[in-house]
Chain A
């Protein structure tokens, strides 16, 4: 197998591995590090309000700000429990 790949040059290139890893980590860090300061507070208050009505935990609410060119998208993702408690 290694002999075959030697002849056909199908050895995985490390540069493309590097590029793929970087594009993932940079995209991730751009959303977390460059988020405006109010996001954590917003997330906390949202949890407070929503948990008044639905039984949700801290991890069930995700607040993210995404930037696409000149357009900013505030994405609030709330995972509701299977059965509302009440």
Chain B
């Protein structure tokens, strides 16, 4: 059975696509055959983050409409053997995605032997976002430690619990995971930022990981390399931990405690 995972948040700009790219890469690195689908019809960006923008020929809507088959539309990732990207369409027709169409694509991916299908949701609570979460077995809710992001995450959790197929059919509910991104232990320590514990307490969803705020994320997207591949980067390590926890491995939280720089470091600078 292919496991369908939606990466969602409600609010935009919190790191959904960055997370989709890194988690799908991480699962592929672990040997799982993985597909990552961009559901942001009209505003596709996963292709840029994955660095395959110049190889896009067909997209999700082409497959749904039967203008191309899945094999033609899936782009093989340049870093991982087992990873395939299905880009979103740049059409402005918001109704191009239908529930039947998405279901057909997911079924076909399953027949092709995929272990995981990651659905990169658009922001908002409109059709595209609902379509991305409809068939989910698990959900990764990406949240910044900031008021509007936390509130929107709660909204999207409500939608997961009412509009997903699992909810509608009364099956076992979608397994939810909370991921806190752009986390700054220093600002938390200083009382300027909600702690991951605060966010978890507010949203009441099990925590799968905390990704520290880092310049590396911009560096990664500049180059079209998912952040998980970066060398000597806290962000890459944090994403690897998330993938491990997702696969039920036990990993303690890292990068959540603030260490005061020592006197030497303060005097002589350094990173």
Binding site for B on A (CB under 8 A): 13-16, 18-19, 21-23, 25-26, 29-30, 33-34
Q: When the two chains form their complex, are residues B198 and A15 in contact, meaning their CB atoms are under 8 A apart? A: yes
Q: When the two chains form their complex, are residues B158 and A30 in contact, meaning their CB atoms are under 8 A apart? A: yes
Q: Report the Cα distance A37→B161, complex, angstroms.
A: 14
Q: When the two chains form their complex, are residues A29 and B191 in contact, meaning their CB atoms are under 8 A apart? A: no
Which residues of A have CB within 8 Å of B195? 15
Q: A59 to nearest B CB, angstroms?
A: 26
Q: When the two chains form their complex, are residues A18 and B154 in contact, meaning their CB atoms are under 8 A apart? A: no
Q: When the two chains form their complex, are residues A29 and B202 in contact, meaning their CB atoms are under 8 A apart? A: no
Identify B192's interface contact among A14, A22, A26, A30, CB under 8 A. A14
Task: Say whether B150 faces chain A, with CB atoms less than 8 Å apart.
Answer: yes
Total residues of chain B contacting the partner, CB 8 A:
19
When C-beta atoms are compared, the residue in chain B nearest to A37 turns out to be: B162
Q: When the two chains form their complex, are residues B192 and A19 in contact, meaning their CB atoms are under 8 A apart? A: no
Which residues of A have CB within 8 Å of B191? 13-16
Q: Report the Cα distance A22→B198, complex, angstroms.
A: 10
Known: A22-B150, A34-B161. A29 touches B155 (CB 8 A): yes
Q: A32 to nearest B CB, angstroms?
A: 10
Q: When the two chains form their complex, are residues B193 and A29 in contact, meaning their CB atoms are under 8 A apart? A: no
Identify B155's interface contact among A13, A22, A33, CB under 8 A. A33
When C-beta atoms are compared, the residue in chain B nearest to A36 turns out to be: B162
Which residues of B have CB within 8 Å of A21? 147
Q: When the two chains form their complex, are residues B158 and A19 in contact, meaning their CB atoms are under 8 A apart? A: no
Which residues of A have CB within 8 Å of B161? 34
Q: Report the Cα distance A19→B192, complex, angstroms.
A: 11
Known: A14-B191, A15-B188, A15-B193. A26 touches B151 (CB 8 A): yes
Q: Report the Cα distance A80→B191, complex, angstroms.
A: 47
> Can you list 15 pairs linking A and B with CB atoms under 8 Å apart?
A13-B191, A15-B192, A15-B193, A15-B195, A18-B146, A19-B194, A19-B198, A22-B150, A22-B151, A26-B150, A26-B154, A29-B154, A29-B155, A30-B154, A33-B158
Interface string of B166-197 (1 = CB under 8 A from A): 00000000000000000000001011111100
Which residues of B have CB within 8 Å of A23? 202
Q: Report the Cα distance A13→B190, complex, angstroms.
A: 8
Q: When the two chains form their complex, are residues A22 and B158 in contact, meaning their CB atoms are under 8 A apart? A: no
B window 235-249: CB within 8 A of A: none
Q: A30 to nearest B CB, angstroms?
A: 7
Which residues of B have CB within 8 Å of A13? 190-192
Q: Report the Cα distance A13→B150, complex, angstroms.
A: 18
Q: When the two chains form their complex, are residues A18 and B151 in contact, meaning their CB atoms are under 8 A apart? A: no
Scoring A14, A18, A21, A25 by chain B CB atoms within 10 A of each residue's CB, the highest score goes to A18
Q: When the two chains form their complex, are residues B162 and A34 in contact, meaning their CB atoms are under 8 A apart? A: yes
Q: Report the Cα distance A22→B152, complex, angstroms.
A: 11
When C-beta atoms are compared, the residue in chain A nearest to B193 turns out to be: A15
Known: A34-B158, A34-B162. A18 touches B147 (CB 8 A): yes
Identify B202's interface contact among A26, A33, A34, CB under 8 A. A26
Q: Report the Cα distance A30→B151, complex, angstroms.
A: 10
